[in-house]
Amino acid sequence: MMNLVLQTALSDTGNWIANIFFYIIAAVAVVAALKMVTTNNVVHASLYLLVVLSAVAATYVILGAEFAAATQVLVYLGAIMVLLLFGVMLTRAKIGAETDLDYDQRWIGALVATALGAVMMYSLWEGFGDVTMPAEQVPQRTEAVADEIFSTYIVPFEALSVLLLAALIGAVVVARRD
Amino acid sequence: MIELAYWQETILKLVFAFVAVLIPAGLTVNLYLFKMVSFMQSRLGPMEAGPFGSLQLVAEVGKWAQKEDIVPRRADEFVYKASPYVVLLSTFLLVLVVPFGPDAMFANFGTGIFFAMAVSSVSVIGILMAGWASASKYSLLGGLRAAGQLIAYELPLVLAVVGVVIQAGSLNLQDIVMAQHNGEIFGWGAIGNPFILTQFVGFMIFLIAVQAELTQTPFDMPIAESELVSGYMTEYSGFRFLLFFIGEFATANIFAFLGATLFLGGWSIPPFLMDIIPGLAPELDATGAVLSEGGNSAAGMSPWFNLIGPLVMLVKMLALTFIVYWVRFTYPRFREDQLQKFAWKVLIPISLVNIAVTGVLKVVF
């Protein structure tokens, strides 16, 4: 029976399976995001954030954007989350529930988050609502990404580089004691 | 060609992934960690289990498997129990991109080596989780030291690989193997152009950074036994300790596989041998390079390499792992500040210069 189901799924295009995996990954991301803001332990919250970021990387893989997925893992999981965990564990690494993590203005926060989500969803829907995935999914070539970055998007790319450099120098200036 | 359904292929790949991770790990631990090191220290090493102690590892695994799985009372139980699996996850993700033959690879990612560098950093998260969740000062200090060290040495590791990527013109590991096979040294193509010759600086930085990424001596501050008991692994026992152990030594082998692919020509053998041995001659395209087809640049290679390739990789892997263990049992431990200085002030500047020089030479030639 199971065999039959799998074979019908595969004799069709791969989209059927890709859809199932997308919904599983999306569900994991949403649940982890909710747990991240409701958990009462700082380290648990950062670990849930990690799950959300990995789920985003997994959706990139499903969309055939290998380079973006690998970059997501290298930058967010390998560097930013490690630094975040490092910082949290150095400063307030209590095991068990904490009581002072709640905040009075959480309802305003929820409102702002919902509004922001709605705006983003609306703009995505307006822009790409009628775009369908090609039946035969071809992974994006890394060379194509590089060509786009260094021709069409060269100005924003360089501007971002300068911005990051400024932030880096700023961080060094703030951290220096002398 | 045998045609397999997707699910059949997936099951076979799963089995082979376990083989590719566990068999080399067991082999190198027995051969190097138990025996070679013993001979270096003028002793016999394990002699009782099996002929010349060759079944010692089976006995050890049996011992670990039956030990009690202890969780400290104040530990964070879920995170504590999950962390060895996170470390192991990064090991299994790493082996996915390593090519063992023209078709014998788990996934032919276009981003190949970049993907490998990305997933290798996931193990740090497992180590931090272990260090924090153990509710022990020694574990936490070990975990924090490990995180600091692994972030510092991740950079030279990635930068050392960039030189090879520039020379091969691709991130895909199969392309990198074929670039070495098709390469010529000033018009002489008998041994191809293994990148260890042109990227020797990158190769040395890669080996040093791998040693540090694996927290092997001389970079074993995170588990320094004279001050931290056993670092982030202190509280672990039984099966979960075994998982950390497998993660550590299997990752050493997979980094050696990656090193062999990047610098020693991967699964291919020197081209002049292919002309001598009957049946191994590759199919060539119009320009004289090996035929490539459908994103696989090694499609023209003899299918026999799907069998020979893994053995060639095993030999090259054993050569590189030998260096890892040789250094491990020869040098004393770095102090924490020396260790950080070495990464940021020596390895990273040298690898940046290496990238600049490689880039200039690539354009010139």
If one counts the domains in chain B, the total is 1
Domain span holding position B91: 69-364
**Can you give the pLDDT of all 365 residues of chain B as single tens digits?**
567 777 777 888 888 888 888 888 888 888 888 888 888 888 887 888 878 777 888 888 888 888 888 888 888 888 888 889 998 888 888 888 888 888 778 877 778 888 888 888 888 888 888 888 888 888 888 888 888 888 888 889 989 999 888 888 888 888 888 888 877 777 777 777 788 888 888 899 999 999 888 888 788 877 777 777 777 888 888 888 888 888 888 888 999 999 999 888 888 888 777 777 777 777 776 666 677 766 677 777 777 778 888 888 889 999 999 998 888 888 888 888 888 888 888 999 999 999 999 889 888 87
As to burial, measured by CB atoms within 10 angstroms (0-12 exposed, 13-18 middle, 19+ buried), residue B173 is: buried
ipTM: 0.79
Partner residue facing A78 (CB), from B79, B109, B118:
B118
Instruction: Decide: B271 and B181 in contact? Cβ < 8 Å.
Output: yes
| A77·B6 Cβ contact <8 A | no
B180 domain residue, yes or no:
yes
**Residue B53 to residue B304: CA distance in whole angstroms:** 34
> How many residues are recorded in chain A?
178
Instruction: Decide: B284 and B82 in contact? Cβ < 8 Å.
Output: no
Q: Which amino acid is at A169?
A: I
B97 to chain A, any CB pair closer than 8 A? The answer is no
Q: Which of residues 265-294 of B touch A (CB under 8 A)?
A: none
Question: For residue A96, how far is the Cα from the chain centroid?
Answer: 27
B157 domain residue, yes or no:
yes
| A95·B122 Cβ contact <8 A | no
Distance to chain B for A89, nearest Cα, Å: 7
B114 to chain A, any CB pair closer than 8 A? The answer is yes
**Residue B25 to residue B17: CA distance in whole angstroms:** 12
For residue A167, is pLDDT > 90? yes
B71 to chain A, any CB pair closer than 8 A? The answer is no
For residue B117, give both structure tokens: 């560098």
The whole model's pTM is what?
0.85
Task: For residue B115, give the chain A residue with the closest CA.
Answer: A70
Q: Which of B261, B233, B242, B248 is nearest to B324 (CA)?
A: B248
Instruction: Decide: B236 and B68 in contact? Cβ < 8 Å.
Output: no
3-state helix, strand, coil in chain A (%, to 5): 75, 0, 25
B21 domain residue, yes or no:
no
Chain A positions touching B114 (Cβ under 8 A) are 67, 70-71, 74, 142
B118 to chain A, any CB pair closer than 8 A? The answer is yes
